[in-house]
Every structure is written in C-alpha cells, then in structure tokens.
Amino acid sequence: MRSILSKAAVTLGAAVAVVSLAAGNAVADPGSTPLRGDIVGVGSDTTQDLTQALGDLYNSEHQRPADWVASWHATGSSPITPKDGAPSITRPNGSSAGINALIADGDAHNLDFARSSRYRGSNPVEANYSFLQFARDGLTYATATTTNVPSTTTTADLHDIYSRSTPNCVPLLKPYVPQLGSGTRQFFLASIGLTENTLGNCAAVSQEHDASVVVGDPNAIAPFSVARGWGVTGLKLNDIDDSVLPPGKTPNTMAEDTPPNGALSPIRVYDRGLYHVIRNSDVSNPKFDNVFGPGGWICTDADAQAVIAAQHFRAADSLDCGTDTP
C-alpha cells in the first residue's frame, strides 16, 4: 500500500514557496496564443492546475527562444486555437477527450500532449501513444461534511450504488459521476467493477471535481481526487474498504493519503498514475524528452517535484517517472 505520510515538513514548506513563485500572475489557459514550436497540451481536469503550475515554472526557468509549455484547461470558452497557425477545435474536457484530440491531430503537432488521469484504454490506436507517468493521485468518494453516507464504504457498496437504475435507486443517496470523456469517470468505474454498459441511470452526470453538487447536500456522493478536494470548504473525502468486492472484481491498488478534513488517521483510496500522453515518435525527441522523460525536467528538477507535493499529489516512483507504466 502506497503512502505519503512521511513527507518532510521542510519539503512542503519549500514546495509552497515554489508554487507561489511559479504561479505568479498565472491565469487559466495560456495568457496568449502559444507559439508554433511550443509544447501544447489539453485534457484532464484532475491535472489541469498541476500541469499549468509546472508549465509556469518551466517557462520561468527557460527564457525565449526556448519552446515553452502551454496547457489549456478542461473547461472554459470553446472553441480554442491551441497554438499559432492551428485550426480551432472544441475544447477537450477530460482525459479521453484530450487523448482523442491528440489522436485526431495526427502528426500536425497542433497539439503535443494530452493530460490524462487514466492509463491506456481499449482503443487500439492508443498503442501509438506513450503514457508517461509523472505523479500519482488518490481517488475516493466525496460527500458533504454533514452527510447520510457512511465515512467508510466498501468497493462492493460503491458498485451497488452506481449499478442501480430506476426505480431501484438507493434511498436517500444521490450519486454523481463525471462527464463522458473524463479519466476519473473511467478509472472510478473500473475500480468499482463497472463499465459504461453496467453503470446505472440512478447516477447523475456532473462536471468532474465539481464540488457544488456535493457541498450542502447530505445525500450526495461523487468520485473525487484527494488532491483536487484538498481544502474545499464543506467537502469531506472518505475512506474506502477494498476488502469487500463485488463478484468477479480483483482487488485494487490502494494508497493511504493524509486527509484534508481533520481526520485523525489516513484515508484509504484507489491509487492511480497521472500521465502526459505523447506520440511514440516523440518519445526520443529531445524537445519532449527534456520535459517529460525519465531524465527530463519534471522528473529530476527539485522545484518541479516540490510543485507536485504542494498541490497534494504524490511523486511517481523514481523508476516509473517519465516512463510508460500504469
């Protein structure tokens, strides 16, 4: 079981300082249209703020004419023009939407990477892309701080809640699931032993990590990243018991994360990798390897690693960072 409980206070203190430096006057999305040679990405809601903070810091350390990192958020005005000379596209909202946009771009390099909170899926075309892990995240279920939902729920119970269809919805529960194209949606369903075909219609759709559907509603429940839920007023992140599984489901990889809501013990959560997805043909290109690769800036720069810690994600294992691994 993975854990972040041993983080040193001095590391977190340094990380907070680095984030403040990296963010500066940063706003969502690039402040202007990225240049043709810039390294431009779209996709995951989970990592949009993290990748932007990393990009801001990288750009501050690499002055023009270096190629800068630019990242478009999952939500906002649409369409977008990813970089100079590129055609406008519908803003990709979520990991799968970002990966599909990267695939649709072919070799044009109007897009250079996709942010993803899930690993390679069943689409055979994704074999042509490398999922380069750069951090890890805990996924759990969120409720309001005053709630009718138990603070510890089994994987089997979550399967039951999300597999039901009307008129057999669980009384006094309002389950939410992220929008189609969300990596969190795909990973959460797989973790509780469901697919799109077995997801019940009792679950309503909300934007990934939208706390407003949960906060203040004692019956609401939604999957949530621990890092994204950190510090959200009125939101409670809960403990998962993976020892009780639905029939046929194998155990998940679990992690222990320090909870942000004042609990005395760590919460158990589904452990997942976070990825920057690039073309296989770009893996050995120094332009991309120097940023995303195992010896690249994200994996080896102390300030970059501090940004990851400060946003409450966990560092990738040293042997996994920058490599194509679940």
Residue 322 lies in a domain: no
Mean pLDDT of the chain: 91
Q: Has residue 81 got a pLDDT over 60?
A: yes
Same domain, 113 and 226: no
Sole residue written with tokens 């990393």: 54
- 22's tokens: 């990296």
**Domain co-membership, 178 together with 126:** no
The pLDDT assigned to 6 comes to 32
Residue 320 falls within a domain, yes or no? no
Q: Read off the pLDDT of residues 100-123 as tens digits, 9 standing for 90 and up.
A: 999 999 999 999 999 999 999 999
Split at pLDDT 50, 70, 90, the class of 196 is: very high
For residue 13, give the CATH number of its domain: 3.40.190.10
Per-residue model confidence as pLDDT tens digits over 88-104: 999 999 999 999 999 99
162 and 266 co-located in one domain:
yes
Do 257 and 305 belong to one domain? no
157 and 266: one domain? yes
Domain that residue 166 falls in: 137-271
Tens digit of pLDDT for each residue in 273-302?
999 999 999 999 999 999 999 999 999 999
Assess if residue 326 is contained within a domain: no
Q: Answer yes or no: do 154 and 90 share one domain.
A: no
Is 125 within the bounds of a domain? yes
H or E element in which residue 73 lies: none
Let me know whether 182 and 113 are in one domain: no
Q: How many domains does the chain have?
A: 2
306 domain residue, yes or no: yes
Reduced to 3 states (helix: H, G, I; strand: E, B; else coil), residue 273 is strand
Helices (H) and strands (E) in the chain, counts: 9, 14
Residue 55 has φ and ψ, to the nearest 5°, of -65, -40
For 138, left (φ over 0), alpha (ψ -120 to 50), or beta? beta
Residue 82 belongs to a domain: yes
Tell me 86's DSSP state. P
Q: Is residue 209 domain-shared with residue 278, that is, in the same domain? A: no
Residue 36 lies in a domain: yes
pLDDT tops 90 at residue 18: no
- Residue-wise pLDDT for 123-147, tens only, equals 999 999 999 999 999 999 999 999 9
Confidence of residue 262 (pLDDT cuts 50, 70, 90): low
pLDDT at 261 over 80: no
Please name which of 234, 251, 235 lies closest in space to residue 243, comparing C-alpha atoms.
251
Q: Is it the case that residue 20 has pLDDT exceeding 70? A: no
pLDDT at 260 (0 to 100): 72
Is residue 49 pLDDT above 70, yes or no?
yes
Residue 64 pLDDT greater than 70, yes or no = yes
Same domain, yes or no, for 233 and 149? Answer: yes
142 and 265 both lie in a single domain: yes
Domain identity same for 119 and 245: no
Tell me: do 63 and 84 sit in the same domain.
yes
Do the domain assignments include residue 250? yes
